[in-house]
């Protein structure tokens, strides 16, 4: 009699292998479906800009836009305030240095001129009176000196004669002593008159010198006042074009107020603005090229303005040799500003990706062209066409160069 053998219930060892295999397959499927959906972005290849990395010469320049301006602008400020009585030249007209543009009137200035003239006349009269007084004293002093000298000589001679007579006992002692005393008195009086005359001469010279200096100062002051009067005629400070004129007949203008400008058209300069990213590399005397009608014109960077506004700073460039014949103020030109020498480098065409990544990473397309992966790179200098690749890319590799903002946080781009 056969005995039925019951099958053992439960998992056999081989079942564990099947379970493990199934779990692995489920994990891989979940990773493929859900994991890749977080870091993957799908898009059509035609909607993207893709460029190839290449080896070549990197021209270290930037392209800037500039506007033609006169080589110099001279501002006209009112030396004197006043009311506009006449307007002789209109805006946009060509002027010569010294041409009268406006005439002003200033009643207070006229009064100052009359007061200065009156003071000068009084000072001149004082000087004449003082000179006459000193001249009279000088004549009187010389007359007194001559009289004192004559008396001294006469009394000296009388004294010497009486001395001889007294020694011969021909005159009395009293007569002799009297002549001696008269001589000594005349001698002292002569010294006093001589000293007074010398002092008067010194005082005359000192006083007249001071008065002459005062008179010269007053005359110079009056001349300056007359110059102020001439400044009521607003003149062109240089040859050129009257750029603007902010004055109308009857208008009151304050002293120092800006009323116009002269554009010097003997030459031109180009004013341009550059991104502050280049402020450390832009220096004076850099070279630049302007292309016009298939012809190149060389420029030199003449001035760099240190002030930065809205992320940009200003520069002035001037032509080195010839300039376009049809150049006019206000024209716009595109200019290549050379920052350094050309060198061999890996070149990546410029694109909108730089604004998204700052040049720290890019999406590199695989050889099949069906996906692109995120890769860290290091970029160097840039010009209007290329970035200089320092690390992370090889010649022949393709990079998505369009903007990455729509990719979000994806690290893998699937190209359809």
Number of CB atoms found within 10 A of residue 348's CB: 26
Per-domain residue ranges of the chain: 37-58+343-415, 61-69+265-338, 75-104+232-253, 108-229
Mean per-residue pLDDT, 53-75: 88
Taken in order 9, 12, 18, 21, the sign of the CA dihedral is positive
Q: Are 245 and 260 in contact (CB under 8 A)?
A: yes
Q: What is the pLDDT of residue 30?
A: 55
Q: What is the pLDDT of residue 293?
A: 83
| Identical topology for domains 37-58+343-415 and 75-104+232-253 | no
Q: What is the pLDDT of residue 178?
A: 92
Q: Read off the DSSP letter of residue 185.
A: H
Number of CB atoms found within 10 A of residue 28's CB: 11
The angle at the Cα of 21, spanning 17 to 26, to the nearest 5 degrees, equals 150
Q: What is the pLDDT of residue 361?
A: 93
Check: CATH 2.40.50.100 for 75-104+232-253? yes
Residue bearing the bigger pLDDT, 60 or 48: 48
Q: How far is CA 183 from the centre of its chain?
A: 84
Query: Between the CA of residue 311 and those of 64, 65, 306, 335, what are the distances in Å?
Result: 14, 15, 12, 20
- Out of 26-30, 330-334, 398-402, give the one with best mean pLDDT: 398-402
Q: Are 116 and 221 in contact (CB under 8 A)?
A: yes
**Interval 103-157: pLDDT, tens:** 999 888 888 888 877 887 887 787 778 778 878 888 888 888 889 889 889 989 9
Q: What is the pLDDT of residue 267?
A: 84
**Interval 252-289: pLDDT, tens:** 988 889 998 898 888 889 999 998 888 888 999 999 98
For 46, list phi and psi in degrees, rounded to 5: -70, -20
Residue 292: strand pairing partners? 295
What percentage of the chain has pLDDT greater than the value 90?
A: 25
C-alpha span between 307 and 71 (Å, rounded): 21
Considering only CA atoms, which of 104, 103, 106 is closest in space to residue 88?
103
Considering only CA atoms, which of 72, 86, 69, 103 is closest in space to residue 239?
72
Q: What is the largest CA-CA distance in the chain?
A: 217
Q: How confident is the model at residue 10 (pLDDT cuts 50, 70, 90)?
A: low
Q: What is the pLDDT of residue 356?
A: 87
Query: Between the CA of residue 159 and those of 194, 248, 287, what are the distances in Å?
Result: 22, 93, 104
Q: How confident is the model at residue 168 (pLDDT cuts 50, 70, 90)?
A: confident
**Which of 178-182, 306-310, 337-341 is predicted with the least confidence, judged by mean pLDDT?**
337-341
Q: How confident is the model at residue 29 (pLDDT cuts 50, 70, 90)?
A: low
For 119, list phi and psi in degrees, rounded to 5: -65, -40
C-alpha span between 181 and 168 (Å, rounded): 20
Q: What is the pLDDT of residue 1?
A: 46
* Residue given tokens 């909607």 in the structure block: 47
Topology given in CATH for the domain delimited by 37-58+343-415:
2.40.420
C-alpha span between 388 and 391 (Å, rounded): 9
Q: What is the pLDDT of residue 40?
A: 87
- pTM comes to 0.51
Mean per-residue pLDDT, 2-29: 61
Q: What is the pLDDT of residue 397?
A: 93
Give yes or no for residue 219 having a pLDDT over 50: yes
State the SS3 of 45-67.
HHHCCEEECEEEEECCEEEEEEE
The SS3 of residue 342 is: coil
What percentage of the chain has pLDDT greater than the value 70?
A: 91
Q: What is the pLDDT of residue 148?
A: 87
Give yes or no for residue 339 having a pLDDT over 90: no
C-alpha span between 184 and 187 (Å, rounded): 5
Give yes or no for residue 32 having a pLDDT over 70: no
Give yes or no for residue 195 having a pLDDT over 80: yes
Q: What is the pLDDT of residue 305?
A: 92
Q: What is the pLDDT of residue 389?
A: 93
Give yes or no for residue 37 having a pLDDT over 50: no
The angle at the Cα of 62, spanning 59 to 65, to the nearest 5 degrees, equals 145
Considering only CA atoms, which of 309, 312, 308 is closest in space to residue 275?
312
C-alpha span between 80 and 144 (Å, rounded): 58
Give 235's contacts (C-beta < 8 A, 6+ positions apart): 97, 98, 99, 100, 101
Mean per-residue pLDDT, 33-58: 80
| 371-376, strands of its sheet edge to edge | 40-43, 412-415, 371-376, 361-365, 398-400, 50-52
The SS3 of residue 68 is: strand
- Select 61-69+265-338's CATH number: 3.40.1710.10, 2.40.30.170, 3.50.50.60, 1.20.120.80: 2.40.30.170
């Amino acid at each position: 009699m056969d005995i039925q053998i019951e099958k053992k219930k439960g998992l056999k060892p081989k079942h564990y292998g099947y379970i493990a295999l199934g779990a692995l397959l489920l994990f891989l499927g979940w990773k493929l479906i859900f994991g890749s959906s977080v870091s993957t972005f799908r898009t059509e290849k035609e909607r993207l800009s893709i460029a190839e990395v290449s080896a070549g010469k990197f021209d270290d320049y930037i392209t800037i836009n500039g506007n033609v301006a006169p080589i110099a602008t001279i501002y006209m400020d009112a030396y004197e305030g006043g009311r506009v009585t006449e307007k002789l030249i209109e805006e946009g007209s060509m002027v010569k240095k010294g041409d009268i543009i406006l005439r002003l009137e200033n009643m207070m200035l006229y009064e100052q001129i009359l007061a200065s003239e009156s003071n000068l006349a009084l000072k001149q009269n004082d000087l004449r009176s003082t000179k006459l007084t000193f001249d009279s004293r000088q004549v009187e002093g010389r007359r007194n000196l001559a009289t004192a000298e004559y008396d001294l000589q006469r009394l000296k001679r009388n004294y010497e004669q009486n001395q001889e007579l007294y020694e011969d006992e021909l005159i009395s002692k009293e007569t002799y002593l009297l002549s001696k005393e008269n001589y000594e008195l005349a001698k002292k009086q002569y010294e006093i008159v001589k000293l007074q005359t010398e002092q008067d001469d010194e005082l005359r010279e000192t006083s007249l010198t001071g008065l002459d200096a005062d008179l010269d100062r007053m005359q110079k002051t009056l001349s300056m006042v007359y110059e102020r009067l001439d400044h009521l005629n607003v003149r062109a400070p240089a040859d050129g074009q009257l750029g603007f004129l902010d004055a109308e007949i009857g208008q009151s203008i304050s002293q120092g107020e800006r009323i116009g400008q002269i554009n010097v058209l003997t030459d031109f300069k180009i004013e341009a603005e550059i991104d502050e990213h280049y402020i450390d590399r832009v220096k004076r005397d850099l070279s630049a090229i302007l292309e016009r009608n298939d012809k190149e014109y060389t420029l030199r960077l003449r001035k760099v303005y240190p002030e930065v506004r809205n992320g940009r700073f200003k520069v002035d460039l001037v032509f080195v040799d010839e300039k376009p014949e049809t150049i006019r103020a206000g024209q716009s030109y595109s200019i290549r500003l050379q920052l350094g020498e050309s060198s061999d480098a890996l070149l990546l065409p410029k694109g909108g990706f730089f604004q998204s990544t700052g040049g720290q990473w890019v999406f590199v397309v695989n050889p099949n062209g069906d996906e692109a992966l995120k890769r860290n790179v290091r970029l160097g200098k840039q010009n209007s066409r290329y970035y200089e690749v320092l690390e992370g890319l090889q010649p022949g590799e393709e990079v998505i160069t369009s903007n990455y903002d729509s990719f979000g946080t994806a690290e893998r781009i699937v190209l359809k």
